[in-house]
């Protein structure tokens, strides 16, 4: 049977290694704020385990026991704050510091004022499990329609930890003197080994949560335009495919706007590409102010944009086109000095049964309407009711660069 000091040494090394891993993650990904809390949690837990081992070696003093209990409670609070930060919830220090202070006061009372091991275990248990219990809902709830595998693992491990601490507290109240993390017995050795394993599993769950979040962020970046921050051509095609499939199932139409900035080549030639980029960014901001929740703006290349309008008819698409034109015209009227006015032409089309599952046909119809708007004098819009397969040009051709 392993000795208790040996097991506590394993505990210390385990938390120290986890702290170093999280420190590396926090340094590599500075924007990932949860990693800093989990780093601090692991290192504080390592310090708490060190104090607990010191209590095993210095049996005449209970001060290490008080320090160990307070540090382990503080570590649990830091871990819970990391979970809250991960889910973009306010991670306040007040609850963690208050729980730690109450645990310190309670442990101190039942160590020095009234020596009672069962009450010490009860105070420690309540303080230790409270932060995890309060974050279980976050770990086990769905995010964007799915539950992260890492969060599910962390939630299950946290639930098991809560159960172990609760059983230990009940056992200590029923059989005083038999439940202690510093006693040399096979039962206590087994509990310590189990706690080491569960602490590793909990942090592994946190690590999977981090990997899943970073992977989703990379996937999102692959669907965004670098300059304007709106969807790119790949995102547009993905969204159009989804909307066509949805409309084909339920028969509900949606609309598409294809937008081209008038005279954009002249802006680049006269004012430079930096000014052209600024115009694209400015138009993006203006257009977004006229969209509804659920509408999607995407830049498909150069000075070309598209707007997907879910559950919208051709008439509603024309209404949005007028809104975009109005905000651009109002902005152009206020231009003075070196300000560059922005004018746009817009083509509007609506999904029909003839389009079916072929988004390129809808893009082609809106593109034809755009050319009608250009022929009508630019800085306006035109509509087109898409009709059948003769408009089924490849998306690459219909989204070609125009100057």
Q: Which of 70-79, 302-311, 389-398 has the lowest mean pLDDT?
A: 389-398
CB within 8 A of 25, min separation 6: which ones? 32, 35, 39, 207, 210
CB of 311 closer than 8 Å to CB of 246 = no
Q: Is the pLDDT of residue 56 over 70?
A: no
Lowest mean pLDDT segment, chosen from 89-93, 132-136, 187-191, 307-311: 187-191
For the record, the structure tokens of 60 come out as 């005449």
Tokens of 240: 């159009």
* Dihedrals phi, psi of 270, to nearest 5 degrees: -90, -45
Tokens of 81: 């704050």
Q: 73, 99 in Cβ contact below 8 A?
A: yes
pLDDT band for position 190 (50/70/90)?
confident
Q: What backbone torsions phi and psi does residue 402 show, to the nearest 5 degrees?
A: -120, 145
Q: Rounded to whole angstroms, how far apart are CA atoms 328 and 348?
A: 17
Average pLDDT of the chain, as a whole number: 87
Model pLDDT, residue 291:
93
- Residue among 326, 382, 320, 391 at smallest CA distance from 355: 391
Q: What is the pTM of this model?
A: 0.69
Q: In angstroms, rounded to a whole number, what is the distance separating the alpha carbons of residues 381 and 373?
A: 5
- Given this model, what pLDDT does residue 148 score? 85
Q: Which of 370, 375, 403 is nearest to 264 (CA)?
A: 403
CB 256 within 8 A of CB 317: yes
Q: Which tokens is 260 given?
A: 């081209």
Cα 243 from chain centre: 25
Using one digit for the tens of pLDDT, what is the confidence trace for 40-50?
999 999 999 89
Q: Has residue 303 got a pLDDT over 50?
A: yes
Q: Write the pLDDT tens digit of every residue in 226-255.
A: 899 999 999 999 999 999 999 999 989 999
Sole residue written with tokens 């152009």: 332
Res. 399 pLDDT band, cuts 50 70 90: very low
Confidence of residue 400 (pLDDT cuts 50, 70, 90): very low
Lowest mean pLDDT among 22-26, 33-37, 166-170, 252-256: 166-170
Residue 224, strand partner residues: 231
List all residues 6 or more positions away from 361 whose beta carbon is below 8 Å from its beta carbon. Answer: 354, 355, 386, 388, 389, 391, 392
pLDDT at residue 144, as a whole number: 60
Residue with tokens 């090394």: 13
Q: What is the pLDDT of residue 187?
A: 66
Residue 74's CB is within 10 A of a number of other CB atoms, namely 25
pLDDT-derived band at 214 (thresholds 50, 70, 90) equals confident
Phi/psi of residue 257, nearest 5 degrees:
-110, 130
Which residue in the block uniquely carries the two structure tokens 């017995």?
A: 185
Q: What is the DSSP letter of 304?
A: E
Q: Give percent of the chain with pLDDT exceeding 90.
A: 61
- pLDDT, tens digit (0-9, with 9 covering 90-100), for 332-349: 988 887 889 999 999 999
């Amino acid at each position: 049977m392993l000795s208790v000091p040996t097991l506590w040494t394993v505990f210390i090394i385990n938390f120290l290694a986890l702290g170093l891993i999280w420190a590396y993650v926090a340094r590599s990904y500075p924007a990932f704020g949860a990693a800093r809390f989990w780093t601090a949690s692991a290192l504080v837990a390592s310090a708490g385990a060190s104090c607990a081992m010191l209590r095993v070696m210095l049996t005449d003093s209970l001060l290490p026991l008080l320090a160990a209990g307070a540090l382990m409670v503080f570590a649990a609070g830091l871990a819970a704050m990391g979970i809250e930060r991960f889910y973009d919830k306010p991670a306040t220090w007040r609850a963690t510091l208050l729980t730690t202070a109450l645990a310190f006061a309670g442990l101190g009372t039942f160590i020095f004022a009234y020596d009672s091991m069962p009450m010490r275990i009860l105070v420690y248990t309540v303080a230790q499990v409270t932060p995890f219990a309060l974050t279980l809902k976050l770990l086990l709830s769905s995010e964007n329609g799915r539950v992260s595998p890492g969060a599910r693992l962390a939630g299950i491990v946290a639930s098991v930890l809560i159960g172990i601490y609760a059983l230990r507290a009940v056992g200590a109240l029923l059989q005083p003197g038999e439940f202690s993390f510093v006693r040399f017995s096979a039962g206590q050795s087994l509990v310590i080994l189990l706690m080491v394993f569960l602490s590793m599993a909990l942090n592994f769950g946190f690590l999977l949560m981090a990997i899943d979040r970073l992977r989703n962020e990379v996937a999102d970046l692959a669907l965004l335009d670098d300059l304007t921050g709106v969807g790119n051509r790949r995102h547009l095609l993905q969204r159009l495919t989804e909307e066509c499939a949805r409309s084909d199932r339920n028969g509900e139409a949606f609309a598409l706007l294809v937008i081209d900035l008038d005279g954009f080549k002249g802006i680049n030639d006269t004012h430079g590409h930096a000014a052209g980029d600024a115009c694209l960014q400015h138009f993006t901001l203006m257009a977004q102010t006229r969209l509804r929740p659920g509408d999607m703006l995407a830049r498909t290349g150069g000075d070309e944009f598209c707007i997907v309008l879910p559950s919208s008819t051709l008439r509603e698409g024309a209404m949005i086109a007028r809104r975009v034109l109005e905000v651009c015209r109002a902005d152009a009227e206020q231009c003075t000095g070196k300000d560059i006015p922005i004018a746009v032409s817009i083509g509007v089309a609506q999904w029909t049964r003839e389009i079916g599952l072929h988004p390129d046909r809808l893009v082609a119809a809106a593109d034809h309407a755009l050319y009608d708007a250009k022929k009508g004098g630019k800085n306006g819009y035109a509509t087109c009711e898409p009709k059948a397969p003769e408009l089924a040009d490849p998306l690459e051709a219909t989204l070609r660069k125009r100057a």
